[in-house]
């Protein structure tokens, strides 16, 4: 059984409320974000000596992460909650596992076949939970239940299950029901709703001037549905809603977390903050004040505090000063205990080489190859991609006219090529056009401006334009950047656009289509991964 709460000191109880960021890689020299991911010695101290309650992981392959999780659990005196932002599948963050299209793909499917979309959402939830469990992740930080009704939203965007509260409620409920087939936790995020913002809370604090009636009709219904479906946790949003609290963002607001979520909505599970390193909170409240305010507001779990040790000390000091009641800490730890019992069962707490076998299976090649990226799950992911894809193939198409097939250019625009793990020399977006004689031209945010005005008729070149654009956290933009717009206009005006493929955001499609000539074929797919590239280009007629 888990250690009795009464046997823990105040500092140990508070530590159980802390989730720290960790690299999924095994070795320190592989750490990609040293400002957020501690080296092994510090991480070991936080887990083994300080007794933090869990970790959130990023980086590495699925196979490597399985080993990493065994290591982390072996360090822990109390079983850890091991979490990851795997809204699109384990393969979204950890290579080798199944990677699904973004949730908004199901929204498009629901427009014509709601039953199929709901079934896909349920299967998606089950697959993500099963694969997460197979590599030792016991807390799936999904689903996103925000209603993305703002096309300029840079942080939610295609992560949402739709643009209407009814659709989001139905699809997220199905996702949660699917995940509940396995002993993992789920998390509905970002309360009370991050879908109608044009500001990235990773960078700045969004402010929503919505009325109570608007919140009740649009933002809250999906959270009510998730709670009714038995979601294990609700994650707060770093945004301010003056009609509820004119002083604090939701993450630090007692009127929002305690009064609205805990009391009015009757949520009895874990209230978890969004990452406390995000600019919307960190820039205003700092490393130690934010954790104290979050606990006062009603948070049970502090996600990624800037300084975990300092955060624990600050909360303890607040308790000792009478600012936070000891019973308030105990109530949170009791909720954490119940969550850990669900995912860890009767895991022993004594230190032994076998202490964690009940939590994560012993990693073998056979175990991983029989639980990850199975044919049925890869087929499911491909079906969702293909069913949600938009294809326009005009009868008279530039792709098949002699004038448009010689010396063609494969123009790929991407945010940052150095950060891209789905575009290499062998992935379909590059390899398939190359096999047909296309010359590659890759442009990202680091590429010098193209001298459009210096191009004359002698340099006319039929161009397949491929755009990889979607909202990305810490970018502050929802997608359509100046470079993509400039290239699109140039190719149209010089009559060089042979075909268009857009990977990621449907809002970019909405912006381009009104100007697209009728004889220019196009494909839109929500996915950006290699499988999505292959399906899209095959639909366009480019085959190996």
SS3 per-residue string spanning 364-430: CHHHHHHHCCCHHHHHHHHHHHHHHCEEECCCCCHHHCHHHCCCCEEEEEECCHHHCCCCCCCCHHH
Rounded to 5°, angle at Cα 504 from 503 and 506: 105
**Cβ atoms within 10 Å, residue 274:** 26
pLDDT of res. 169 = 98
pLDDT of res. 393 = 92
Distance CA 179, CA 130 (A): 8
CATH 3.20.20.300 boundaries in the chain: 5-371
Q: CB-based contacts of 422: which residues, under 8 Å, 6+ apart?
A: 528, 529, 530, 533
Distance CA 341, CA 335 (A): 10
- pLDDT lower than 50: segments of the chain: 1, 346-358, 474, 476, 478-479
Distance CA 497, CA 20 (A): 48
**Domain 389-540 grouped into CATH 3.40.50.10870:** yes
pLDDT of res. 344 = 83
Half-sphere exposure of 194 (CA within 13 A, CB side): 33
- The third-level CATH classification (topology) of the domain covering 5-371 is TIM Barrel (3.20.20)
Backbone angles phi, psi at 280, to 5 degrees: -55, -30
Distance CA 60, CA 62 (A): 7
| DSSP letter assigned to residue 186 | E
Catalytic residue among 202, 210, 238, 371: 202
Please choose, from the candidates 537, 243, 255, 206, the residue with its C-alpha nearest in 3D space to the C-alpha of residue 399.
537
Query: Is position 202 annotated as part of the catalytic site?
Result: yes
pLDDT of res. 472 = 58
Distance CA 14, CA 29 (A): 31
CATH 3.40.50.10870 boundaries in the chain: 389-540
Q: Which pair of structure tokens corresponds to residue 271?
A: 């209230």
pLDDT of res. 455 = 60
Half-sphere exposure of 225 (CA within 13 A, CB side): 26
Q: CB-based contacts of 462: which residues, under 8 Å, 6+ apart?
A: 398, 403, 404, 405, 406, 407, 408, 409, 496, 498
| DSSP letter assigned to residue 219 | I
pLDDT of res. 353 = 36
Query: Is position 247 annotated as part of the catalytic site?
Result: no
pLDDT of res. 354 = 35
> Is 26 in contact with 71 (CB distance < 8 Å)?
yes
Catalytic residue among 274, 300, 371, 415: 274
pLDDT of res. 338 = 96
> Is 94 in contact with 61 (CB distance < 8 Å)?
yes
Q: CB-based contacts of 444: which residues, under 8 Å, 6+ apart?
A: 413, 414, 415, 416, 417, 418
Distance CA 56, CA 39 (A): 15
For 79-112, what is the HEC assignment? CCEEEECCCCCHHHHCECCCCCCCCHHHHHHHHH
């Amino acid at each position: 059984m888990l250690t009795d709460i009464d046997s823990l000191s105040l500092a140990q109880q508070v530590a159980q409320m802390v989730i720290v960021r960790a690299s999924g890689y095994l070795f320190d020299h592989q750490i990609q974000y040293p400002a957020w991911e501690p080296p092994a010695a510090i991480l070991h101290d936080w887990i083994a000596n300080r007794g933090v309650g869990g970790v959130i992981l990023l980086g590495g392959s699925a196979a490597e992460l399985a080993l990493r999780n065994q290591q982390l659990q072996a360090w822990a005196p109390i079983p850890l909650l091991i979490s990851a932002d795997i809204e699109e599948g384990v393969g979204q963050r950890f290579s080798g596992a199944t990677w699904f299209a973004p949730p908004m793909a199901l929204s498009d499917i629901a427009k014509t076949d709601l039953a199929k979309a709901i079934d896909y959402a349920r299967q998606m939830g089950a697959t993500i939970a099963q694969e997460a469990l197979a590599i030792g992740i016991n807390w799936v930080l999904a689903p996103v239940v925000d209603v993305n009704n703002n096309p300029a939203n840079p942080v939610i965007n295609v992560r949402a299950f739709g643009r209407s509260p009814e659709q989001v409620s139905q699809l997220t409920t199905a996702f949660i029901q699917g995940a509940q087939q396995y002993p993992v936790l789920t998390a509905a995020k970002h309360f009370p709703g991050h879908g109608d913002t044009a500001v990235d809370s990773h960078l700045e604090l969004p402010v929503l001037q919505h009325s109570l009636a608007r919140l009740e009709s649009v933002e809250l219904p999906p959270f009510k549905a998730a709670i009714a479906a038995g979601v294990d946790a609700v994650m707060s949003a770093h945004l301010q809603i003056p009609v509820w609290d004119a002083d604090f963002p939701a993450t630090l607001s007692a009127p929002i977390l305690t009064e609205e979520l805990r009391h009015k909505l009757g949520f009895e599970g874990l209230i978890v903050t969004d990452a406390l390193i995000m600019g919307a909170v960190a820039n205003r409240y700092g490393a130690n004040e934010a954790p104290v305010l979050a606990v006062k507001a009603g948070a049970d779990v502090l996600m990624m505090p800037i300084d975990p040790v300092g955060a624990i000390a600050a909360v303890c000091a607040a308790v000792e000063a009478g600012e936070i009641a000891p019973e308030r800490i105990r109530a949170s730890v009791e909720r954490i205990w119940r969550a850990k019992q669900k995912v860890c069962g009767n895991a022993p707490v004594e230190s032994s080489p076998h202490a964690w076998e009940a939590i994560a299976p012993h990693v073998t090649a056979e175990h991983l190859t029989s639980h990850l990226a199975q044919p049925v799950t890869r087929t499911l992911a491909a079906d969702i991609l293909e069913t949600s894809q938009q294809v326009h193939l005009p009868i008279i198409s530039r792709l098949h006219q002699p004038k448009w097939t010689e010396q063609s250019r494969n123009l790929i625009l991407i945010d940052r090529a150095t950060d891209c793990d789905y575009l290499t020399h062998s992935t379909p977006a590059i390899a398939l056009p190359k096999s047909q004689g296309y010359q590659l031209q890759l442009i990202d945010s680091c590429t010098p401006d193209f001298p459009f005005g210096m191009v004359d008729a002698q340099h006319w070149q039929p161009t397949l334009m491929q755009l990889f654009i979607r909202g990305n956290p810490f970018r502050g933009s929802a997608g359509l950047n100046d470079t993509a717009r400039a290239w699109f206009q140039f190719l149209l005006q010089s009559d060089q656009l042979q075909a268009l493929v857009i990977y990621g955001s449907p809002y970019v499609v909405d912006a381009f289509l009104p100007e697209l000539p009728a004889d220019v074929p196009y494909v839109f797919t929500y996915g950006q991964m290699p499988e999505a590239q292959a399906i899209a280009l095959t639909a366009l007629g480019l085959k190996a």
